[in-house]
Amino acid sequence: MRCKGIEALCPQPGTSELHPGRKIYPYLLRDISINRANQVWALDITYIAIAHGFVYLTAVVDVASRRVLAHKVAITLEACHAQEIIERAFVRFGLPEIVNTDQGSQFTAEEFTEASLDRGVKLSMDVRGSWRDNVYVERLWRSVKYERVYLMAYDSVSKARANLVQYFDWYNNERPHSSLDDLTPQRAYLDLLPELGQVA
């Protein structure tokens, strides 16, 4: 295929492109035990194929409970989408101690970093090329794609959005996780909260 100049009709790697000149924050999760809800949140972006192209899915995950706190389906890779969902998660669930992302341009943009730093939240960024640093969200992407996206063949952006809202509701409230002793992410999130009053 390479010799003939044939390429697959799908997005090429690039959702984590580093923007030159922007500040990179150190990876903070290497030696800490993550055992409380709202201790560490992780964000990432993946692409979802639809009939005539693809869309980008961004999600915020509470690492201890695996609960998806906020997500958004967008047609562009702009930092404003990441900023929007992290602020939506702050309003609904309070503030985490640490927000972990990769070094992509969406997460190093000032509009995103200031949304966290201005509230006293620490930023942590994965080491480039080390997928294990953000394995919590990578596992979510695998679940989303194998349990829903690959089975549905979305024919429009609106159908992808509506179906993923339904999926994440099911994922949070009904899907048990073996890593959580077969609790759902919602139940684990509530059990692991230092104070139940933090939940909106």
Give pLDDT tens digits for 100-148.
999 998 999 999 999 999 999 999 998 876 666 678 899 999 999 999 9
Per-residue confidence (pLDDT) for residue 8, from 0 to 100 = 61
Asked whether the predicted pLDDT for residue 200 surpasses 50, the reply is no
Per-residue confidence (pLDDT) for residue 5, from 0 to 100 = 73
Per-residue confidence (pLDDT) for residue 147, from 0 to 100 = 95
Average pLDDT of span 62-76 = 96
- Grade residue 153 by pLDDT with cuts at 50, 70 and 90: confident
* Residue % of the chain over a pLDDT of 90: 74
Domain ranges of the chain: 20-159
Residues of the chain by 3-state class (helix, strand, coil), percent to 5:
40, 20, 40
Token pair 């996206």 is found at 149
The matching CATH number, chosen from 3.30.420.10, 3.40.50.300, 3.40.720.10, 1.10.220.70, for 20-159 is 3.30.420.10
- Grade residue 176 by pLDDT with cuts at 50, 70 and 90: very high
| Paired strand residues for 53 | 50
Average pLDDT of span 173-197 = 89
Any idea what DSSP says for residue 183?
A: B
d(CA 185, CA 143): 13
d(CA 182, CA 176): 5
Per-residue confidence (pLDDT) for residue 7, from 0 to 100 = 65
CA dihedral 58, 59, 60, 66 (to 10 degrees): -150
Question: pLDDT tens, 10-34?
Answer: 554 455 555 456 689 999 998 899 9
* Residue % of the chain over a pLDDT of 70: 86
